[in-house]
Amino acid sequence: MSDSEEEVQERQLKIVLLGDGASGKTSLAIRFAQEAFGKQYKQTIGLDFFLKRITLPGNLNVTLQVWDIGGQTIGGKIKIKTLHLQIITIYLSIC
């Protein structure tokens, strides 16, 4: 095996969860990052932050930062200036 085949690559991605209050953003984040599920509702004040590390084929280590933004604070109270890396945005809404 050559050195290039053994080289581990690192990537970092941000996943931003946006949506109405009580739409399940925190439950989704906890289920994804911690493989758990809480049955009680607890309002997110401001921002919660979760990490999930995965290894993909080809020795690619990916750190996923899950940003859970409280639905009650979306109306202009929070301005995030640090979302400058590659971002996946998920918007949740209850219809």
How far apart CA 91 and CA 59 sit, in angstroms, is 31
How far apart CA 20 and CA 33 sit, in angstroms, is 21
- Residue 66, number of CB atoms within 10 A of its CB: 24
Decide: helix, strand or coil at residue 38. Answer: coil
Strand arrangement of the beta sheet that strand 47-56 belongs to: 47-56, 60-69, 9-19, 87-92
Decide: helix, strand or coil at residue 25. Answer: helix
Residue 64 β-bridge partners: 13, 52
The residues spanned by each domain of the chain are: 11-92
- Span 55-76, pLDDT tens digits: 999 999 999 999 998 887 655 5
| CATH number of this structure's domain 11-92 | 3.40.50.300
Please tell me the pTM assigned to this model. Answer: 0.74
Which residue did the predictor score with more confidence, 58 or 2? 58
- Span 12-23, pLDDT tens digits: 998 988 888 899
